Amino acid sequence: MFEEILPPQGKKFGRVFAFPVRVYYEDTDAGGIVYYANYLKFAERARTEYVRSLGVCQQEGLESEDKCGFTVRHVDIDYKLPAVLDDALVVTCEVVEAKGAGAEMHQDIYRGDKLLASLNVKLAYLSLARKRPVRIPEELLNKINSCA
């Protein structure tokens, strides 16, 4: 009955992946604007869907013997304008560089054509079993770089 209902999937525009996000009441603070940390959640959702759009199941990496996956090691975020309840946002993802055990990504959050926030994200590919960075698997690296 509900098989036809799918979550938002985003769309690629050349090197840029765009993912839709709706602002819900839970995302706002007492002033009625999106709480600053929630922009990071929106960006995380978009990065997750970007990797999924490459045909990669991150759950498989987490269930593998070495339990590997991406983790954020550094974020710079520049807040430009506030988002508010019911805003329809678009979060973009663009890989700047991916090699070795890390990747850099630029993300923007828009309401229509207005830029609300801009993020530069440094990611590490981490073995959770060994608690240290490991090389990004060649197959995944090729998929990422084919879009970059």
List, by residue number, the catalytic residues.
Answer: 29
Q: For 72, left (φ over 0), alpha (ψ -120 to 50), or beta?
A: beta
The answer to whether 104 and 119 are in contact (CB under 8 A) is: no
41 in helix, strand or coil? helix
- Rounded-to-integer distance, Cα 145 and Cα 93, Å: 13
Nearest to 46 by CA among 103, 88, 109: 109
The torsion of the CA quartet 9, 113, 31, 119, rounded to 10 degrees, works out to: 70
Alpha-carbon dihedral sign for residues 131, 122, 48, 58: negative
